[in-house]
């Protein structure tokens, strides 16, 4: 994952595995034997324990989501739905897409075009831009030109959305400080690693 477009997911995955290993490491051989039977192999036991621990952590995070972050801008085009298990026991986190023609944030983004322009210019001023930076600046340009803000454009705006809608006195917490800090500082907002 570290070499893929989802490279920031690596640290999240490693943190989750570390937590699962810590919890699983508390089990004794006798406890595992009692739960899984004496013929169970270690690989399937560990896979089961890691899966259970990760699912538990995801469910607890969902339940506590309002305690660790403040929802400042509820989206009318996005429904918050708790994770559910499918027939195979996998977690389902649908919906992950919008079903609207235009993003519900379109008016505010267009009304705040000077703010959006400042963030776009900050990205364009970077010495070495990435493919993600190009997607962000292209999406911002489309908004500034008054084009329809589709789900794809909204997703491509990415970090710009967080900075744009964060209250002026808020601190944006992210493990991706490198990308967020540049655009947040362009509009006088703060970013910090948790």
Q: In whole angstroms, give the CA distance from residue 8 to residue 174.
A: 11
Q: How many CA atoms lie within 13 A of 147 on its CB side?
A: 12
Residue 6's pLDDT band (boundaries 50, 70, 90)?
low
* Residue among 170, 174, 172, 171 at smallest CA distance from 193: 174
Contacts 24+ apart (CB under 8 A), 119-123: 119/160, 119/163, 119/164, 119/183, 119/186, 119/187, 120/144, 120/160, 121/186, 122/182, 122/183, 122/185, 122/186, 123/182, 123/183
* Residue among 151, 155, 172 at smallest CA distance from 163: 172
Spatial contact of 174 and 193, defined as CB atoms under 8 Å apart: yes
Q: What is the mean pLDDT of the chain?
A: 83
Q: Average pLDDT of 147-172?
A: 88
DSSP run (H or E) holding 186: helix 177-186
List, in sequence order, every residue forming a beta bridge with 84; answer none if it has no partner: 92
List, in sequence order, every residue forming a beta bridge with 3; answer none if it has no partner: none
Residue with tokens 């919008």: 98
Residue 41 confidence (pLDDT) above 70? yes
Please give the pLDDT value at position 5: 61
Residue 118 structure tokens:
């400042």
Residue 189 confidence (pLDDT) above 90? yes
Residue with tokens 């952590």: 57
Is the peptide bond preceding residue 95 cis, with omega within 30 degrees of 0? yes
Distance of CA 54 to the CA centre of its chain: 16
Its pTM stands at: 0.68
Please give the pLDDT value at position 4: 63
Please give the pLDDT value at position 67: 80
Residue 116 confidence (pLDDT) above 60? yes
List, in sequence order, every residue forming a beta bridge with 92; answer none if it has no partner: 84
Q: Average pLDDT of 58-82?
A: 79
């Amino acid at each position: 994952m570290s070499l893929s477009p989802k490279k920031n997911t690596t640290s999240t995955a490693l943190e989750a595995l570390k937590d699962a290993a810590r919890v699983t490491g508390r089990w004794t051989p006798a406890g595992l034997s009692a739960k899984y039977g004496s013929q169970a192999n270690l690989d399937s036991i560990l896979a089961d324990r890691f899966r259970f621990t990760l699912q538990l952590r995801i469910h607890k995070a969902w339940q506590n989501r309002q305690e660790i972050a403040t929802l400042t801008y509820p989206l009318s085009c996005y429904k918050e739905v708790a994770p559910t298990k499918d027939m195979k026991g996998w977690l389902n986190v649908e919906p992950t897409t919008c079903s609207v023609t235009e993003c519900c944030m379109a008016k505010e983004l267009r009304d705040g075009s000077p703010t959006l322009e400042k963030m776009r210019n900050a990205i364009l001023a970077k010495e070495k831009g990435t493919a993600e930076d190009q997607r962000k600046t292209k999406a911002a340009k489309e908004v500034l030109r008054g084009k329809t803000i589709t789900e794809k454009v909204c997703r491509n705006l990415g970090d710009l959305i967080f900075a744009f809608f964060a209250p002026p006195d808020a601190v944006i917490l992210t493990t991706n400080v490198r990308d967020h800090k540049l655009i947040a500082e362009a509009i006088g907002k703060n970013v910090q690693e948790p």
